[in-house]
Amino acid sequence: MSRLRLPLYLKILLWFGVNLLVLAFLVFGFLSMQFRMSLDWMLSGEAGERVSAIGDSLTDELSQLPEQQWPEVLQRHGAQYNVTFALFSSNGTQIMGTQVQVPPEVLPKLIDKRGPNDRPPPRRPPPGVARKRPSDAPPKPRFMLRAGDPAHYWAGVHLDLTQQSDHRPLTLLMVSNTITGGGLFFDLWPWLGLAAAALLLSALVWMPFVRGITGFIGRLNHAAGRIAQGNFGERVSRSRNDELGELSSSVNAMAAQLGEYVAEQRRITADVAHELCSPIARMQMALGVVEQRSTPEQAGYLKKLDAELQHMAKLVEEVLAFSKAETLPERETAEDINLHDLIVAVIAREAPEADIQLAVSTDLQLHSLRDALDRAIGNVLRNAARYAADSGPIQIHAGQQDGKTIIRISDQGPGVPSETLPRLFEPFYRPEAARRRSTGGSGLGLAITKRCIEACGGTVTAKLREPTGLEILISIPAA
């Protein structure tokens, strides 16, 4: 089961979101503890103003109505917020509204402890005119707490109701199952809007920072991939003065050292192969002289020695070809090539007796390095003929697609283990099935093919066929 892959910037933003959630839970836990202790602080802001406004509105409305209509008024106001409204006398006795079972913690709050001198002078507004509290008037006593089992939220405000000449101190009690009280006690939407705005603003603030890191890491990853493919001239610009900038310097230094090491290794390999040519040639000449003077009993041994020398000479020749393939663009000039004629010539040279199905237009032209392309196709065709000629026809298809010339050489042989596909084009690498002396080969054929195709500005890949077989795909720019 494959793991879900998430981009780094998304992981950072998700982690930032988790951090915000942890903070939100901590704040929620703190507020919950405060709610259990006391909620009077909630009435110091807009919630308190709303409760006082409800008290003033009810005071004005009830003072102009007979008591028989008070329950209807209380029910109407309560339905507006889905909150239970009830009126209590100054000694804590319920006199109006839906009957409620008041917890012991709430009872002391219902008693109006103000004396006559603490209450504002009674003022009765004209009929139909709402009473306005003077701006310098002190707020009416209010309270709010959480109590009961199950717990409810209880809020109250002391009223000064004047009806005709009768002044009645009452307490308006509001009971809700939730802390919001339908928006009367606590309006949740502004807080949600503030949280969303804070989250959005935080994301906008973090986004440039996160994109800067992930963008630089992406460029660094691309450069490392190019270096891993052998492009040791690839460099990462050091545009940061932090650890990532130091990492880019280390990658650049590593690429430079690897390039020098590989170049030195190739030079030594080419020099050694070149130096081996002369002694091998002299040994072959000496062996020819010995064969002329040998006895019949020695002929078998000399034949084996000659085969070994020929194998060694072939290996040295391939090593030299591999070393020279890197400088092909400097030694050859691109020319117009008829691909059909080129492949026909390669077939006649490399696999004249093989069963080959050729599907290449006689008009297909491309502009590339002739010798490099000839060598690359020849190596692939020779491998196919060597390992899969007895398993069925070898198929060669070519055509143009998206501005590129695509050449497919496929066989129906045993193929290679799937895990060896990424290494087929490495120098001196051979799958286990190809390491027998009877099949020959040095493990340089496909490596030379890769260098030749890259010299032509193209790419070469390999994939397994179903049910069996191997396909080599060569892609070269058409123009």
Residue ranges of the alpha helices (H) in 112-242?
188-228
pLDDT digit string, tens, across residues 87-139: 998 888 898 888 999 998 888 888 877 665 555 555 555 555 445 554 445 55
Residue of 2, 109, 131 lying closest to 58 (CA atoms): 131
CB contact set of 222 (below 8 Å; sequence gap of 6+): none
Instruction: Please tell me the number of Cα atoms within 13 Å of 37 on its side-chain side.
Output: 7
User: Which pLDDT does position 342 carry in this prediction?
Assistant: 95
Tokens, residue 85: 């409204």
Residue range 278-294: average pLDDT?
85
Q: Which residues belong to CATH 1.10.287.130 in the chain?
A: 235-325
- How does DSSP classify residue 441? -
Beta bridge mates, 460: 474
Residue range 392-397: average pLDDT?
93
337 pLDDT higher than 90? yes
User: Which pLDDT does position 475 carry in this prediction?
Assistant: 94
Q: Which residues belong to CATH 3.30.565.10 in the chain?
A: 332-477
User: Which pLDDT does position 439 carry in this prediction?
Assistant: 53
Domain 332-477 has CATH 3.30.565.10: yes
Tokens, residue 460: 């070469």
Cα–Cα dist 108/174, whole Å: 15
Characterise 400 by phi-psi region: left (phi > 0), alpha (psi -120 to 50), beta (else): beta
Instruction: Indicate the pLDDT class of residue 291, thresholds 50, 70 and 90.
Output: confident
pLDDT digit string, tens, across residues 73-85: 999 988 888 899 9
Residue range 190-195: average pLDDT?
79
Burial class of 399 by CB neighbour count within 10 A (0 to 12, 13 to 18, 19+): middle
Cα–Cα dist 229/38, whole Å: 68
Residue range 293-311: average pLDDT?
84
For the domain made up of 235-325, the CATH class stated in words is mainly alpha
CB contact set of 258 (below 8 Å; sequence gap of 6+): 227, 232
Cα–Cα dist 473/449, whole Å: 11
User: Which pLDDT does position 247 carry in this prediction?
Assistant: 87
Cα–Cα dist 338/343, whole Å: 9
pLDDT digit string, tens, across residues 341-390: 999 999 999 998 899 999 999 999 999 999 889 999 999 999 899 888 88
Task: Return mean pLDDT, the chain.
Answer: 81
pTM score, whole prediction: 0.51
Cα–Cα dist 261/271, whole Å: 15
31 pLDDT higher than 70? no
Tokens, residue 478: 């058409």
Tokens, residue 38: 């006391």
What is the CATH code of the structural domain delimited by 38-123+136-186? 3.30.450.160
Tokens, residue 171: 């307490």
The residue behind tokens 């072939």 is 314
DSSP element (H, E) containing 359 = strand 356-359
CB contact set of 100 (below 8 Å; sequence gap of 6+): 84, 86, 94, 173, 175
DSSP element (H, E) containing 415 = none
Lowest mean pLDDT among 1-5, 127-131, 243-247: 127-131
Instruction: Indicate the pLDDT class of residue 33, thresholds 50, 70 and 90.
Output: low
435 pLDDT higher than 50? no
Instruction: Indicate the pLDDT class of residue 165, thresholds 50, 70 and 90.
Output: low
Residue range 433-460: average pLDDT?
75
Q: Which residues belong to CATH 3.30.450.160 in the chain?
A: 38-123+136-186
Most confident listed range (320-324, 411-415, 425-429): 411-415
Most confident listed range (46-50, 166-170, 415-419): 415-419
User: Which pLDDT does position 164 carry in this prediction?
Assistant: 54
**CB of 147 within 8 A of CB of 109?**
no
Residue range 282-311: average pLDDT?
84
Contacts 24+ apart (CB under 8 A), 33-40: 35/146, 35/179, 36/146, 38/145, 39/144, 39/145, 39/146, 39/153, 40/142, 40/143, 40/144, 40/145
